[in-house]
Structure 1
Amino acid sequence: MSILDWRTEVRRWLHPRRNITPELTNSVVAFFECAFENTRCLDRAWFGVHPSGISLVVGGIYLAAIQRSGVDQGVWLLVDQELPKIDGVEYQPVKSTQRSEQPLVWLHSVSLNPVPHLIGVTFLWESFAQASEKILRFPIASDRDTVQKRRKKIRLSELMRESVILYPDEEEESRVFREGLRKTVTVNAYERDQKARDLCIQHYGARCFVCDFSFGEAYGEFAEGFIHVHHLRPLSEIGEEYTVDPVKDLRPVCPNCHAVIHLHRPAFSIEEVRAALAERCSPNAYTSLRSIKRK
């Protein structure tokens, strides 16, 4: 499993559930992205997608999980204390931690419906980050590497080190931005604000702004809602954090068109690539692109 295909596996797992909309599917993917980004024990956490559920675990305990049925059915997220009320969820004690001075709890919902809201609750993910560190003090979090490998889970640190970039917009050596905020990482990549992406797709739809391609129409329901999102203003030209307007600054584009946009520095505009595509009878599309008169 790689940083690319874990998202595909999550989408496939959700596909048989006919009541899952493309928007909710995207939110479930974003839910686990948030869990990955906020986990403070990358070398101890393991992730896997199985017929019964999707789970990020440490030892024998959930950090974040979605289970299809049974007594564990629903959404689970470990937090370090019972938080202010969130619609559609409840809190359950983690029994193995209750004798501690700082007992942990799970946020739980039988339904997936609260997931889109959970993604944007900052205090929730701060609490999750604290819990992912505190849980290591308890025996339940002891290493079970052999068991995790047998269950075909992958260590989160290995998953996060994968060099594949699912949404490769603008890349620059040895630097990474969260919408422009510079920080040091072990791979070259650009992180993206998932909420901004979701709002862009919600406004424009999951259809390429250049060629009109739809993954859902081409591959079926499990791929519905998948699309890259392109920044009209390259982050590499900004150099500092800025507020992204999902409607003004972003556009949905398919991976092919996205790659073509970035064949040139500075990047081609959407209009330029669309014009080149209109001349698709040309024997060499790249030559056609390079011949475009830039402003």
Structure 2
Amino acid sequence: MKNKYKTEDYITALRNLNISPHHIKMIQAHYYAPDRTMTASQMAKAMGYHNHNAANLHYGKLGRLVGNAFGWDPTAEESQGADAVYILAELKKPGRYWLWIMRPEVAQAIEKLRWTNGNQITIPEEITEPTRLYEGAVRSISVNAYERNAIAREKCILHYGCTCSVCDINLADVYGEIAQGHIHVHHLR
């Protein structure tokens, strides 16, 4: 189904809606996914959910919010019963799993809204100068700081999830919802 909404429509909707930080993190995870393509299971892993159902629920809620701002009616004939995720992504099922392919208009909108490169929560040890895909290199300044790269971080979360494979800690379990979907380099030699 062809997308009838333009970049400017998404900018207006995203700017005027009360989008939660959690939904912004979801759209950023999708933006940074390879080819801006992911499955619900990959989104669940990136967000620290237990399974794909939570990803479908929350990304669907975001799609519905944006769709409602457009006056989108999922029951209308031209919607063909589309899922609310359709508002944010083209849906394809080349194999066993559905792929969510971020609509170019959505990607352009979040770039123009500056929701990419720099709107991530950082902690004092992190440096926000991503130039290469390396993780944990130490730079000598007044204190040691571990360089962080947004793309490397997203790829790491998509591949490994948010639970440490060494000590089995998930920051959200310790610090609550504010830490949901975050990782921290803490096992270095």
What interval of TM-score do these two structures reach, taking the shorter chain for normalisation?
0.3 to 0.5
Q: What TM-score comes out, normalization by structure 1 length?
A: 0.28
Relative contact order, higher structure (CA 8 A, sep 6+):
2
Question: Counting helix residues as a fraction of each chain, which structure ranks higher?
Answer: 2
Q: What TM-score comes out, normalization by structure 2 length?
A: 0.38
